[in-house]
Chains A and B, each alone.
Chain A
Amino acid sequence: MENVLSVKGLKKSYGTQMAVAGIDFEVRPGEVFALIGPNGAGKTTTLRIIATLLTYSEGEIAFLNHDLRKEPDFVREKISYLPEEAGAYKNMKGMDYLRFMAAFYARTAEEEREFVERAAAITELKDRLSSKVGTYSKGMTRKILLARALMTRPVLAILDEPTSGLDVINALEVREIVRRYVKEGTSVLLSSHNMLEIEYLSDRVALIDKGRILDCGTPQALKDKHQAKNLEEVFRSSLR
């Protein structure tokens, strides 16, 4: 089966500063692939490049065998991106926001309705969807944003710190939602500082630091290789 995403020799610099210094990885169908690493390691830059937000200096990115640089519009049709510090339009009601976003992806009114209903079910916000987004708590906002990202059943969902700033219960709910959608066929590329979250969600993990991938594999394989109890110890071992 062909890879959903294939990244080879990816480099990105901001002026003289190298943010991504040549990385290779691939995301397989129905897989959760995680990038873990410290702040400034190049995780978000990598995700932004794949989300077609940033251009890249060198390397090749193929999404479903389509060149990302040449066909960004094709990629945008099939992916969804949830930035770490995303927001929704505060003056819009929750339901209006979902309709607004669904209209960009749906080909028919029927499909648009389907997307919105799916998103409403993901959020579990019910009547609160008729309130303005500006009145939502952080957890509610994150849920509506995640619902927006998953409602179209994208081929690849790019999630940057999906549970960032959420309390334990909200974070757990978000992880369960992600897991459920992966079972339904969506591949996920995510980044997180939370090693427990990564271990719970990910099929494969890439350890990234200073723009380079230090190691890559399943959480269990990495733990075995580094003789570590958890991914935190794996990461520390990789840095040595």
Chain B
Amino acid sequence: MKKFANLLKKEIRELVTLQLALSLAFTVILFSFIGQVSRKEVRKATGVQTISALDLDGSAASQGLLKGLESARFEIRRIEEKTRDEAIDLARTGESKLLLVIPAGFGDSLGSLTPGEIETYSYLRSFSLIGTRSQVVVRGVLSALNNVLSDKVLRDKLPGIDPGSLKNPIKSKDFVIVRDRMAEGSAGQVAGLVSSQSLLIPIILMMIIIYSSQMVISAVAMEKQNKTLETLLTVPIRRTSIITAKMLSAGLVGLISAGIYMVGMKSFLGGIGEEAAQAGAQGGAAIMRQLGLYFSTSGYLILGAAIFLAILVALALAMILGVLAEDFRSAQNMIMPLMFMVMIPYFISLFADINTLSLPLKIFFLAIPFTHPFLVSQNLYLGNYGMIFGGLVYMLVVFTGLVLFAARVFSTDKILTMKLRIGKKKTAVA
């Protein structure tokens, strides 16, 4: 045990470098930054919109229109005693992204029930998402205007009747059912929210797997390149201990990295969820809570277990690939097959539902151990615990098989003679 601890300590010290600490700190800062930016954006999207308005008509109808807009969550900045061109210049220097001009005769045309025309001027101040949001504002303004005006006409013509009932005599009340829970809302809205919440998990998982595997492949390859492997293999310690120490150290560092990534992700998703809850008008977060579509502590634990098992499988595979590498440089190429094994299910989980694929394709993807952690979040939401635990067991079996194979390789000549040198001799006689 003392010998193993000695080896483990050395492996950990080789992995925990300043570069690793900086990389993790950078990731956490990045998550926090993305969370803050997203929060700000959600606030902007759901907050009061400011528009400038020039009323050249001055009729009761135009005044009523502006008051109606104010009641529809628009802050109106009225421009007084200016011409259209002066108002356009004035609004350009302000914060408004939209100028509304009500021409003279607007009230009269409404009185004669002919369509009244108003002018809107959008100020495209940048091409970012924030800049182009003025288009959304325009649509919101027009929709609000038409509602206000048509409601007014209907109230005048048919007093005592609710204009809303007249315009939409048939109303639908939408419900979404997930397992045994039901909530009022649209399926599209729920699917969109789930998708946005699950989007980051595969990306983070892919990062961790590739990063941890790189550590192991490099650790074995560096032992070969620095000519320390032969000496290590002749010291009185079991070969399985050498493998275990290398994998455990990379696993521990990988787990700590995963933990830090998860904390960052949770704060990020929590931030979005919090803002979504505040945007209660749409009721997105409320629906998600009602339907139980959020991660509980046990959900996070299961997700963590799936990620950890996937890391272990990747580490065992990396250990074998590391043996095939001749040096650090060739180790960089050895990571490629592993990357593909992670990326293929990642892209599939982004663009398709594995459950609806044809049986051979489904078997193919489920046979890739890294597919399972990508499916965990969706299966947790849907309560497919059989699928989740089946995946966990499968990953454990694959991991055990790979470790046994790696132990076999380390216990034979293959650790020194097995090399993947395309186009060259595979072994060399000393």
Residue numbers of A with Cβ under 8 A of B are: 14-15, 17, 19, 40, 43-45, 48, 51-55, 73, 76-77, 79-83, 85-92, 100-101, 103-105, 145, 148
Contact = CB atoms under 8 A, between A and B. Distances in A.
A52 B234 contact: yes
Interface stretch (B2-10, B28-36, B57-65, B280-288): B2-10
B235 interface: yes
A76 B235 CA distance: 6
Contact of A104 (B6, B413, B427, B430): B6
A161 B10 CA distance: 28
Chain A interface SS verdict (over half): mixed
B343 to A, nearest CB: 32
A53 B233 CA distance: 7
A76 B236 contact: yes
Nearest to A103: B6
A49 B95 CA distance: 81
A53 B413 CA distance: 7
A14 B425 CA distance: 12
Nearest to A107: B2
Interface residues of B, number: 24
A101 B413 CA distance: 23
Interface centre among B10, B228, B231, B238 (most CB of A within 10 A): B231
A92 to B, nearest CB: 8
Interface of B: 2-3, 6, 10, 13-14, 226-228, 230-231, 233-238, 412-413, 416-417, 427, 429-430
Given A14-B429, A48-B430, A88 B236 contact: no
Given A19-B429, A52-B234, A54-B413, 20 more contacts: A14-B417, A15-B427, A45-B429, A73-B236, A73-B238, A76-B235, A79-B234, A81-B231, A83-B230, A83-B231, A88-B228, A89-B10, A89-B226, A91-B14, A101-B235, A103-B6, A104-B3, A104-B6, A105-B236, A148-B231
Contacts of A104: 3, 6, 235-237
Contacts of A54: 413, 416
Nearest to B235: A104
11 contacts: A17-B429, A43-B430, A76-B234, A80-B234, A81-B231, A82-B231, A86-B231, A87-B227, A89-B14, A92-B10, A104-B237
Contact of A55 (B2, B233, B237, B412): B412
A103 B2 CA distance: 8
Nearest to B226: A87
A73 B234 CA distance: 9
A209 to B, nearest CB: 14
A14 B426 CA distance: 10
A14 B419 CA distance: 14
Contacts of A55: 412-413
B236 A77 contact: yes
